[in-house]
């Protein structure tokens, strides 16, 4: 299939998935699994924008991350940093119409009519997941393209965690820091206060979306993709976590976040650190 045919196919698939002109859409995507459109990777963005139309808005996560305990003066957010949330975010950031919020660790990128509304007040004084609340206010949709199993879930879950106060269960979140430039040549230290729960557990939420019949499924190019209404997903996330605040604790014995950084799961910490020390001991012996 040539690239023009693939673009036509993707436009049709996005409509089948439930996208409409004027929608606000947050996308997380694995570009490689969608298929190669052309040499210009901005085509991925423009095809989606074409379906959303002039009145629509495309949003991406352009997170940059923090360092733990160590305050690293080389880790400076100045708005030009590459995102650590994958190629889709970085292609979005390279789009000539892209705007980015100023939150030092969890900035968002947006293109389209409501970009300013979603991004404008998202800075060092704002919660990391507040743009999701704006997307909810716009009755926005959330899509995963090709990363349904490799990077599961919707960011509504993190907003629900914060609204339920579950971020206070993370041990010493302010040990996660980065520097940022607010005024020219002046560095400020940003301390994270609202670290999200373990997103590797978010695949468990899919079953609930299916049961409530809110999960639209289809393909974008060759990529298995899902789409939800942000308000409906949030309501489900909120109810699940309210009923069981430990639902977002994973089973991976090596997960630092779940085994060693939750006040409500401290019983796992000794075994985690003993295992870690044992491995270090064995590796230095060999």
When the beta carbons of 130 and 161 are compared against Zn ion, the nearer one is 161
Contact string (CB under 5 A) for Zn ion, positions 104-143, x = contact: ----------------------------------------
**Maximum Cα–Cα distance for the chain, whole Å?**
62
**Any contact of residue 258 with Zn ion (CB under 5 A)?**
yes
Cα→Cα distances 50→54, 111, 144, 218, 250, Å:
8, 12, 18, 19, 38
**Any contact of residue 170 with Zn ion (CB under 5 A)?**
no
Stretch that binds Zn ion, among 12-20, 98-106, 129-137, 258-266 (CB under 5 A): 258-266
Cα→Cα distances 267→78, 104, 146, 175, 277, Å:
39, 33, 36, 21, 17
- Are 159 and 234 a contacting pair, CB within 8 Å? yes
Contact string (CB under 5 A) for Zn ion, positions 187-226, x = contact: -----------x----------------------------
User: Secondary structure of the chain: what % helix, strand, coil (to 5)?
Assistant: 40, 20, 40
Identified binder of Zn ion from the candidate list 107, 250, 261, 262, rule CB under 5 A: 250
What region, left, alpha or beta, does residue 76 occupy, with left being phi > 0 and alpha being psi -120 to 50 degrees? beta
CA 275, 279, 283 angle in degrees (round to 5)? 175
**Any contact of residue 260 with Zn ion (CB under 5 A)?**
no
Stretch that binds Zn ion, among 23-31, 148-156, 246-254, 262-270 (CB under 5 A): 246-254
**Any contact of residue 255 with Zn ion (CB under 5 A)?**
yes
When the beta carbons of 113 and 246 are compared against Zn ion, the nearer one is 246
Give dist(CA 92, CA 54) in Å, integer.
17
CB of 254 to Zn ion, least distance (A): 9
Binding site for Zn ion (CB under 5 A): 198, 250, 255, 258
């Amino acid at each position: 299939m040539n690239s023009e045919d693939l673009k036509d196919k993707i436009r049709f698939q996005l409509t089948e998935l439930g996208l409409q002109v004027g929608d606000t859409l947050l996308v997380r995507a694995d570009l490689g699994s969608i298929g190669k459109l052309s040499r210009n990777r901005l085509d991925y963005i423009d095809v989606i924008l074409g379906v959303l139309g002039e009145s629509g808005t495309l949003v991406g996560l352009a997170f940059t991350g923090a360092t733990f305990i160590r305050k690293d003066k080389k880790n400076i957010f100045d708005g030009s940093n590459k995102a650590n949330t994958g190629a889709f975010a970085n292609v979005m950031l390279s789009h000539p119409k892209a705007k980015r919020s100023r939150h030092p660790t969890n900035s968002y990128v947006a293109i389209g009519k409501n970009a300013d509304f979603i991004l404008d007040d998202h800075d060092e004084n704002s919660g990391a997941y507040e743009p999701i609340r704006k997307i909810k206010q716009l009755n926005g949709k959330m899509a995963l393209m090709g990363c349904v199993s490799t990077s599961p879930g919707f960011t509504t879950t993190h907003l629900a965690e914060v609204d339920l106060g579950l971020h206070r269960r993370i041990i010493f979140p302010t040990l996660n820091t980065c520097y940022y430039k607010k005024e020219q040549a002046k560095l400020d230290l940003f301390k994270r206060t609202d670290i999200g729960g373990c997103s590797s557990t978010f695949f468990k939420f899919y079953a609930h979306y299916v049961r409530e019949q809110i999960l639209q499924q289809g393909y974008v190019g060759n990529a298995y993709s899902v789409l939800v209404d942000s308000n409906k997903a949030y309501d489900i996330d909120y109810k699940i976590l309210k009923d069981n605040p430990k639902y977002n604790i994973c089973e991976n014995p090596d997960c630092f976040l779940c085994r060693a950084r939750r006040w409500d799961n401290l019983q796992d910490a000794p075994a985690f650190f003993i295992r870690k020390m044992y491995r270090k001991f064995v590796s230095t012996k060999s």
